[in-house]
Amino acid sequence: MARKERAAKAPKEPGRIKQMVQVFHMTRRYDPSVVWWMILGFVGSVAVFVLAAVLFSRDSIVGIVLWSVAGLLAGVLVTMIILGRRAERAAYGQIAGQPGAVGAVFKGSLPRGWAGSEMPVAVNGKTQDAVYRAIGRGGIALVGEGPLSRTRRMVEDEKRKVARVLPNVPVTMLYVGPDDSSVPLHRVPRELRRVKPQLTKPEVLAVTNRLSSLGTSLPIPKGVDPFKVRPQRAR
What is residue 72's predicted lDDT score, i.e. its pLDDT?
92
What is residue 2's predicted lDDT score, i.e. its pLDDT?
47
What is residue 107's predicted lDDT score, i.e. its pLDDT?
86
What is residue 19's predicted lDDT score, i.e. its pLDDT?
75
What is residue 97's predicted lDDT score, i.e. its pLDDT?
79
What is residue 95's predicted lDDT score, i.e. its pLDDT?
78
What is residue 140's predicted lDDT score, i.e. its pLDDT?
93
User: pTM of the predicted model, to two decimals?
Assistant: 0.68
- Residue ranges in the chain whose pLDDT is less than 70: 1-15, 213-235
What is residue 216's predicted lDDT score, i.e. its pLDDT?
53
What is residue 131's predicted lDDT score, i.e. its pLDDT?
94
DSSP string covering 68-105, please? HHHHHHHHHHHHHHHHHHHHHHHHHHHHTTSTTHHHHH
